[in-house]
Amino acid sequence: MIKTVVAGMLGAAALLFVGQPAKADWLCGPDQCVWVTYNVVSVPAYAVTWGPPTNPSCYWKQGIFGRWKYICP
């Protein structure tokens, strides 16, 4: 009986861990933001609403007049 309870608890813990989304954020420098697969401590306000890139090589670059452009080579 105890083995069944422990096995059930381990199974529930595994499902909880697997169900959590991986931490990832935009890491921004002065004129470019890249997607990193770890949690960034401070994401700039302008990048908070940006979703993940469509391809791993995509990034945001600040252009003329301070406007940000999504670049996906």
pLDDT digits over 47-65, tens only? 999 999 999 999 999 998 9
Query: Residue 7: pLDDT above 90?
Result: no
**Selected residue with higher pLDDT from 72 and 1:** 72
Whether this prediction's pTM lies above 0.85 is answered by no
The answer to whether the beta carbons of residues 43 and 26 sit under 8 Å apart is yes
Residues with Cβ within 8 Å of 37's Cβ and at least 6 positions away in sequence, in order, are: 22, 23, 24
